Amino acid sequence: MPHSVIMKKLNVLIIADKQDMESLDINKQSDRWNVYWEILHYDEIYNKIESLKKTIVFRKIHFVVFSRNDQVGKLTSIGPVISALKVGYTTISGIDQQKRVEQMCQCFLDFMEGDTVLPFDDETQKKSPLPYKPKGTFSLVFDTEQLGGVRYGIPRIFKVLNIYGIKATFFITNLMQWIYPGIVDKIVSKGHEIGIHGRYHEYLSTSDERKQCQIIEETLDDFKGYSVFGANFIGRMDEATLASLTQNGIKYFVYPLIHDYATLGFRKYSTLNTVISVNRHNLIMVPISVETYGLPWIMIRGMLESVLKELKKNEYKHLTILLHPFRDGNISHIGVLEKIIKFLYNNDLISLPIADKISAHNAQHNADCATDINVARAKRKLFQFPMSLTDIKYAPVGIGIKMIQRVRPNTTVF
């Protein structure tokens, strides 16, 4: 636990569904947090946003804790709530539907008591389905900010990564370190990269550059002794963040350029890294090309195929895929992670952490990096003309998924 947190307990608002309160102890005390409760029906959570904002201001809340995420229960999406509140967050949600309540109760105890050392089974057996003549590389990125993702998802993910000899990148919040000391050591000991994801997934964009620089410095304090090159503040940063990152020695950050599905086709964006100059320092923008969140395997495969077609157009052969331990590590989806790896291996790509990729060449002279990019192109379009057989192949499924999500916007399509 960092000295700043020991000296001053953080204010936490637990937003719990009324049904979950049958299993949670509202009277349990914590030596680590000043805990406040907001108990409501998650079906009505969007109608409570304004009152939640007032509570957050009045109680001077540092971050909120949800009792469930959008992978369990009634699949209520908490993403729009977080965006509206502009505050840090985590969840004590279980990640497996059938064991949701049991896992939630354990995560609640972990959160309230802290300093939980998790047992991890060390898997030593590996398969070696590596391409004989690799034609490119890929990076798997895991955003790690939910307790259930660490306790239940990461052990499963480790087993799959170990089987195939994958070295991935984990962006992890400081909060996960405070609750599960040793988790970063475990990640690094397996040869994976770690990057910063915020102290408790807070919004940098609500602060000026001086404050942002201070936040990033405090974030990095918990990572002393580790090599940290990258950051992920997708959706929570602004231009001031770039200067704050460079002042703290960060070499790259990721941003979303997802080859996701629009009507009749996949959006096409550059797969190139981009070097930008900030206060005479180079900072590399690493595009996320594929995201697994909220989509079934058939559409994830479609995104991968679409990106591979883009890769074949030039000499740059690298793509980055964004995953989440609470989602991709749950029982329903862990098999998809293995399918992704097999698919990429079958297309002659091998894995490496992002830091290894960007350090392969000096950033200033890296032929794999573009020199300019129009980030505005990342804005969503409602329509995309079919541009390849891949678009035509996946159009019926993509249209069906879009229709489901429009009729039932809070539905996660498995």
Of 113, 146, 174, which residue is a domain's last? Answer: 113
Distance from first CA to last CA of the chain, Å, rounded?
37
* Amino acid, single-letter form, for residue 374: N
Residue 127 lies in a domain: no
Residue 387 covered by a domain: no
The Cα–Cα gap between 321 and 26 comes to 39
- The answer to whether residues 141 and 106 belong to one domain is no
Residue 279's pLDDT band, with cuts at 50, 70 and 90, is confident
Number of domains forming the structure of the chain: 2
| Helix (H), strand (E) at residue 326 | helix 325-328
Same domain, 56 and 196: no
The per-residue pLDDT for 374 is 43
- Residue-number span of the structural domain to which 7 is assigned: 3-113
Query: 209 and 323: one domain?
Result: yes
Q: Quick one: 190 and 330 in the same domain?
A: yes
The two structure tokens encoding residue 360: 């392969």
Select the highest-mean-pLDDT range: 244-248, 276-280, 290-294: 244-248
3-state secondary structure (DSSP) of residue 252: strand
Across 67-71, 215-219, 239-243, 263-267, least confident range? 263-267
Please tell me whether residues 164 and 273 are part of one structural domain.
Answer: yes
46-62: pLDDT as tens digits:
999 999 999 999 999 99
Are 44 and 144 members of one domain? Answer: no
pLDDT at 365: 45
Q: Do residues 347 and 307 make contact, with C-beta atoms less than 8 angstroms apart? A: no
pTM: 0.91
Q: Are 89 and 82 in contact (CB under 8 A)?
A: yes
Mean pLDDT confidence for 158-170: 94
Mean pLDDT of the chain: 87
Mean pLDDT is lowest, of 231-235, 281-285, 373-377, for 373-377
Question: Is residue 324 assigned to a domain?
Answer: yes
Give a yes or no: residue 388 inside a domain: no
Cβ neighbors of 195 (< 8 A, separation 6 or more) are: 169, 170, 171, 172, 228, 229, 230, 231, 232, 354, 355
Tell me, yes or no, whether 242 lies in a domain: yes
Residue 380 pLDDT level (bands cut at 50, 70, 90): low
169/29 same-domain check: no
Find the CATH number of the domain harbouring 283. 3.20.20.370
Q: What per-residue confidence (pLDDT) applies to 127? A: 67
15 and 148, same domain (yes or no) = no
pLDDT tens-digit readout, 141-156:
999 999 999 999 999 9
Residues 368 and 227 occupy one common structural domain: yes
pLDDT per residue as tens digits for the range 108-147? 999 999 889 998 876 666 666 666 678 889 999 999 999 9
Q: How far apart are CA 318 and CA 370, in angstroms?
A: 13
Neighbours of 313 (CB within 10 A): 9
Q: Are 120 and 295 in contact (CB under 8 A)?
A: no
**pLDDT tens across 7-39, in order?**
479 999 999 999 999 999 999 999 999 999 999
Asked whether residue 324 carries a pLDDT value surpassing 80, the answer given is yes
Same domain, 290 and 374: yes
What is the residue type of 115? D
Check residue 2 and give its pLDDT: 52
Query: In CATH, what number is assigned to the domain containing residue 101?
Result: 3.40.50
Is residue 386, in this structure, part of any structural domain at all?
A: no
Would residue 402 count as lying in a domain? no
| 105 CB-contact burial (10 Å; exposed 0-12 / middle 13-18 / buried 19+) | middle
User: Percent of the chain beyond pLDDT 70?
Assistant: 86
Q: Burial code of 316-344, b = ≥16 C-beta within 10 A, e = fewer?
A: bbbbbbbbbbbbbbbeebbebbeebbebb
* Last residue of one domain, picked from the residues 82, 113, 144: 113
Q: Tell me, what's the pLDDT at 268?
A: 79
C-alpha to C-alpha distance for 300 and 260, rounded to whole angstroms: 9
- Among 6-15, 226-235, 266-275, 364-373, the minimum mean pLDDT is found in 364-373
Return the number of other C-beta atoms located less than 10 Å from residue 269's C-beta: 21
In a domain, 122, yes or no: no
Are residues 362 and 312 both part of a single domain?
yes
Say if residue 366's pLDDT is above 70: no
pLDDT score of 363 more than 50: no
Q: How confident is the model at residue 215 (pLDDT cuts 50, 70, 90)?
A: very high
Percent of the chain past pLDDT 90, that is, above it, reads 66
Say what the pLDDT of residue 373 is.
Answer: 42
Same domain, 52 and 85: yes
